[in-house]
């Protein structure tokens, strides 16, 4: 047993040097693998934080944050005073489900990437017919267009264009940090979206975008086009997010 734990600790340190994802994301995946490899069933108790810390040779705060992610994904549940247990959902849980509604920032974080956001452009423009229809606007109505690039250690891994109805936002936007999560920004204006209708396809970046921003080596992309709505069902964002195919994959459950 001690030899097994020693090998696991060595492998964890080796993988940490070659894996660009965050420590917490790596630990989350290792705990999920532990559930599978140790044959834990729904209702079985997980090892304690102290046991996991020793098993993976990792800090206790990282283990605790990883467990929180698994709880958010429904893979485990907590009974206060008793411990953490495997959820029935774990039997059909998939990694990085495409059906989860979350910001691009949170999605990248859950995928294990600590990205840097580069805001390429922020502009007011008339809404074209297609986007106007998606956002419930008259064609040519004022809209705000955001263009962003997410980078991982300098490598572009996600290009996005997000369009919002201009009337949802205050007149003065000079103090807004557009590099943050757009969902949180809208939340500050009382317009946070809570759901979306989306479609995914495999594409290449538009040629003009690749040429303008030096993204000719971006490679195949997974494009998610979605219209996000607030709790009242009113559309507040139309987004087109190009995920670098070498770094992102999505899964889903069929039933």
**Cα(78)–Cα(46) distance, rounded to whole angstroms?**
10
Phi-psi region of 6 (alpha: psi -120 to 50; beta: other; left: phi over 0): alpha
CB 148 within 8 A of CB 160: yes
CATH topology agreement for domains 2-91 and 104-244: no
**Cα(195)–Cα(230) distance, rounded to whole angstroms?**
7
| Domain range 104-244, CATH architecture | 3-Layer(aba) Sandwich (3.40)
10-residue stretch averages of pLDDT, the chain, 255 residues long: 46 44 82 87 92 92 92 88 87 61 80 90 96 95 97 95 95 91 90 90 96 95 94 92 91 63
Say how many C-beta atoms besides its own lie within 10 A of residue 213's C-beta.
Answer: 17
Supply the pLDDT for residue 3. 47
Domains in the chain: boundaries? 2-91, 104-244
**Cα(197)–Cα(79) distance, rounded to whole angstroms?**
34
CB 156 within 8 A of CB 189: no
- Looking at domain 2-91, which of 3.10.129.10, 1.10.10.10, 3.40.50.300, 3.40.50.20 is its CATH number? 1.10.10.10
Supply the pLDDT for residue 96. 58
Our CA angle for 146, 147, 148, nearest 5°, is 120
Helical axes 23-37 vs 49-56, angle rounded to 10°: 100
Our CA angle for 88, 91, 95, nearest 5°, is 115
Taking 3-state DSSP, the helix, strand and coil percentages for the chain, each rounded to the nearest 5, stand at 35, 30, 35
Strands (E), the chain: 76-79, 83-86, 116-126, 142-152, 155-165, 195-203, 221-229, 235-244
Which residues neighbour 254 within 8 Å (Cβ) at sequence distance 6 or greater? none
Beta-bridged to residue 79, according to DSSP, are 83
């Amino acid at each position: 047993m001690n030899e097994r734990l020693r090998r696991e600790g060595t492998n964890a340190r080796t993988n940490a040097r070659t894996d660009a994802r965050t420590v917490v994301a790596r630990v989350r995946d290792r705990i999920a693998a532990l559930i599978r490899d140790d044959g834990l069933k729904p209702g079985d108790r997980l090892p304690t934080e102290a046991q996991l810390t020793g098993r993976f040779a990792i800090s206790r705060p990282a283990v605790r944050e990883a467990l929180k992610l698994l709880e958010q994904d429904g893979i485990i549940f907590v009974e206060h005073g008793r411990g953490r247990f495997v959820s029935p959902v774990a039997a059909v849980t998939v990694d990085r489900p495409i059906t989860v509604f979350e910001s691009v920032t949170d999605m990248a974080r859950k995928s294990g990437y600590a990205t840097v956001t580069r805001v390429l452009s922020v502009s007011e423009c008339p809404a074209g017919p297609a986007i106007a229809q998606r956002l419930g606007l008259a064609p040519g109505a004022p809209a705000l267009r955001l263009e962003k690039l997410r980078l991982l250690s300098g490598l572009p891994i996600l290009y996005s264009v997000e369009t919002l109805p201009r009337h949802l936002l205050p007149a003065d936007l000079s103090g807004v940090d557009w590099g943050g999560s757009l969902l949180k920004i809208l939340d500050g204006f009382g317009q946070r979206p809570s759901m979306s209708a989306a479609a995914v396809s495999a594409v290449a970046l538009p040629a003009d975008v690749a040429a303008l921003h030096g993204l000719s080596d971006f490679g195949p992309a997974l494009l998610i086009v979605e219209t996000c709505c607030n709790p009242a069902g009113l559309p507040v964002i139309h987004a087109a997010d190009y995920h670098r195919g070498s770094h992102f994959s999505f899964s889903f459950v069929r039933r």
